[in-house]
Amino acid sequence: MNTIDISFWRLGSGYLLLLIPLAIMLWLRVPMVGQTMLAAVRMTVQLLFVGFYLQVIFALNSLWATGAWLLVMVIVADLSIVRGCNLRLRRLAGGVFLALLIGVLVPLLFFVLLVLDGPAALDAQYLIPIGGMILGNCLRADIIGIRTFYEALRKQEKAYLLSLAQGATLREALFPYLQEAWQASLAPTIATMSTIGLVALPGMMTGVILGGGNPMTAIKYQIAIVIAIFVGTALTVILAIRLTVLNSFSAWGTLDRELFLNEARKRS
Amino acid sequence: MQAATMSIEQLTVAMDGRQILRAVDLRILDREKVALSGPSGCGKSTLLRCLLGFVPIYSGTIRIGGELLTPTTVWRLRGRMAYVPQEPELGEGTVREVLERPFSFVGNRPLWGNLQRIPQLLEQLLLPEALLTERVTDLSGGEKQRIALLAALLLDRRILLLDEASSALDQVAKQAVIDLLSATAELTVLSVSHDQEWLGVADRIVNLAELQGRMS
């Protein structure tokens, strides 16, 4: 079974579908037309670039080139997370980067070395898409987790300080906020896991089927990737929070307000 | 001369470019009940928060039981004080959970038995025992203040820092709080209040506005 290739002309015709939401936007007078067009252009350019680049990486099939590409993906995800959280980049980027690296590598290596097995498992063809899927989900979960954690702390700072006054260590005082953030960040992944296959056909399974694999192989891949994603998100969120805490509190245990971009702007 | 439980020397605090406290000197003796007075904005609450290490000190020193307050010692020294903030935010959960939470902290675990004093303290603070199952977010301001005080007393600290701890209380409840604190002679209390009755039972009233820059 071969995948039907899409010619660039036919792909171009696919963009015509976008006219439907754009027309609705104009009718509703929602000022999102420019934003949507820009997003569509960005998506196209980014994916074309990645497509060309991946062709090279797959052709090279060197572990170094694959590792370097994964590293670039982690750095881009790192910067997107910190920007998405509206927090000060310099304070958080290091911690989030390390969290992402560990959170992606642990399930990825587990997946390719134990689940897939065989010498081909370390090929770019497996490492990059699987790593990318784990990373993409970590990105979403990290934004939810980090945002929930620091926003809850900012809103309930008095309760947090009361815990310190009652003799809590930093770790003890932060524990309820960590609990809340971790739960909030994992809830979407758990919901997706419990409805997978019923509500939507998951991405990896679709990919394997389109690539000519049989549905049973596709399902096995899908189960393994869902577990890897869940482990990756669980790990990165907890690590990202724990590691960013190191740069976000004073030695006295108080939350550094300079961490929040909007407050720093207000003061300046 | 009796040793001071809390000793503040030349304390200056500035926030956002504004000076909140200027060269404050204050010594509080063991078992002394001191009330801080002065106009709003003169830094009374800030002074209490400085003692807990919640406000960065620009210059000067604070000693608790003779020990200098630093980022290293603050974690241990907080364990000698109990704090009742103005408009306390007690977090989430029921009253019982809020009262039990501090005893889950490693430093307080040996005091777990103190929770047995809850019914007696509730009675002294004129609060019904049924309140224990209520959610703290559903409590009135006065109830929250008394629960915060109860939580502080359960911790058995020698120093009690009270920031307008009676501001939301009616006359009867306020008297109950005053009676309870007056009966605990071993406590050193530093309170912030505008309340005349509260100021009336203090051993000493310190006007912080007048104190700025002068020796107490």
B76-123 residue pLDDT tens: 999 999 999 888 888 889 999 999 999 999 999 999 999 999 999 999
pLDDT tens readout for residues B121-162: 999 999 999 999 999 999 988 899 999 999 999 999 999 999
- Arithmetic mean of pLDDT over chain A: 88
Is there a contact between B79 and A172 if contact means CB atoms under 8 Å apart? no
Phi-psi map region of B214: left, alpha, beta (phi>0 left; psi -120 to 50 alpha): beta
Which tokens belong to B28?
């509080």
Query: What's the pLDDT at B68?
Result: 94
- Arithmetic mean of pLDDT over chain B: 88
Query: What's the pLDDT at B11?
Result: 92
Which tokens belong to B108?
């307080």
Query: What's the pLDDT at B3?
Result: 64
CB B38 within 8 Å of CB B209 = yes
The residue of chain A with its CA nearest to that of B15 is: A267
Instruction: Using CB atoms, pick whichever of A162, A172, A252 lies closest to residue B89.
Output: A162
The residue of chain A with its CA nearest to that of B91 is: A159
Q: Which residues of B touch A254 (CB under 8 A)?
A: 53-54
DSSP letters spanning chain B = -PPEEEEEEEEEEEETTEEEEEEEEEEEETT-EEEEE-STTSSHHHHHHHHTT-S--SEEEEEETTEE--TTTHHHHGGGEEEE-SS----SSBHHHHHHGGGGSGGGGGGGGGGGGHHHHHHHTT--GGGGGSBGGGS-HHHHHHHHHHHHHHTT-SEEEEESTTTT--HHHHHHHHHHHHH-TT-EEEEE---HHHHHT-SEEEEHHHHTTS--
pTM of the model: 0.84
Instruction: Using CB atoms, pick whichever of B53, B81, B89 lies closest to residue A252.
Output: B53
Confidence of residue A200 (pLDDT cuts 50, 70, 90): low
**Chain B nearest CA to A160, separation (Å):** 8
- Region A104-121: mean pLDDT is 86
pLDDT tens readout for residues B28-38: 999 999 999 88
The residue of chain A with its CA nearest to that of B69 is: A252
Q: Which residues of B touch A162 (CB under 8 A)?
A: 83, 85, 88-91, 148
Residue contacts between A and B (CB atoms, under 8 Å): 76
Round to whole Å and give the CA distance between A119 and B121. Answer: 70
pLDDT tens readout for residues B27-71: 999 999 999 988 888 889 999 999 999 998 889 999 999 999 999
Look at residues A176, A153, A170 and name the one whose alpha carbon lies nearest to residue A260.
A153
